[in-house]
Amino acid sequence: MSEPKSTLKQKARQGLKEYLTIAGYLWVVFALFVLYKSVVLAEHHIPFAPQGVALLNALALAKVMMVAQHLHMGEKFKQAPLIYTTLFKSIAFAIVLGCFKIVEEVLKGLYHGESLNESVHRIGGALEGILVLMTILTVVLIPYFAFMELDSILGKGSLRKLLFSSRHTAEGYRR
């Protein structure tokens, strides 16, 4: 039997829920990076605290991730072992998010009258900084995609129920 079709309102609610989940995850990660950066800079007596930037980046990049997911990006290894799917999606989405971060920095730099080179250099020293950014994004996305892939295998919402329900309620999930 096929599942009943979702109404537009249900689809919108589900899309908003997915968006807020991705944005929330990215916001926590980006906020921690900003916090760490402010601690490191404070050691050198340089004030720094743009926590709002972490939220804006999370909101923007969450939308980019949702669009990429709806375009079925990273579905190439859908039948492969879970670790391959998780790693492939983490790498692919890190590249996409990294490219958008580069474009963002270039546009901000051009707006402020900087050259292309100066703008990209702000990421952390051109190629080296970009590679570090992509590596960090890959590692940060592994838990997210592992959770999402496990949830799709166990059945939508099952993993969330296992993690956030009392153990008594979760007894039915044991095999």
Q: What would the pLDDT profile of 116-146 be if each residue is shown by its tens digit?
A: 777 777 766 667 777 888 899 899 999 999 9
What per-residue confidence (pLDDT) applies to 87? 92
| In a shared domain, residues 61 and 94 | no
| In a shared domain, residues 21 and 105 | no
| In a shared domain, residues 54 and 135 | no
Q: What residues make up the domain containing 141?
A: 73-175
3-state secondary structure (DSSP) of residue 13: helix
Q: What is the pLDDT of residues 80-118, one digit of tens each?
A: 888 999 999 999 989 988 888 788 878 888 888 888 777
> In this structure, what token pair is assigned to residue 74?
């990273």
Q: What is the pTM of this model?
A: 0.76
Q: What is the pLDDT of residues 139-165, one digit of tens each?
A: 999 999 999 888 888 888 888 888 888
Q: Last residue of some domain: 71, 86, 105?
A: 71
| In a shared domain, residues 160 and 100 | yes
| Alpha carbons 89 and 143: distance in angstroms, whole number | 11
User: Looking up tokens 């989940």, which residue turns up?
Assistant: 21
DSSP secondary structure, 88-136, as one string: HHHHHHHHHHHHHHHHHHHHHHHHTT--HHHHHHTTTSTHHHHHHHHHH
How far lies 64's CA from each of 12, 35, 118, in Å? 17, 24, 25
What per-residue confidence (pLDDT) applies to 140? 92
| In a shared domain, residues 169 and 115 | yes
What per-residue confidence (pLDDT) applies to 132? 85
| In a shared domain, residues 40 and 90 | no
Question: What is the number of domains present in the chain?
Answer: 2
Q: Last residue of some domain: 23, 42, 71?
A: 71
| In a shared domain, residues 55 and 83 | no
| In a shared domain, residues 92 and 152 | yes
Q: Which residues of 133-157 are buried (b: 16+ CB within 10 A; e: fewer)?
A: bbeebbebbbebbbbbbebeeeeee
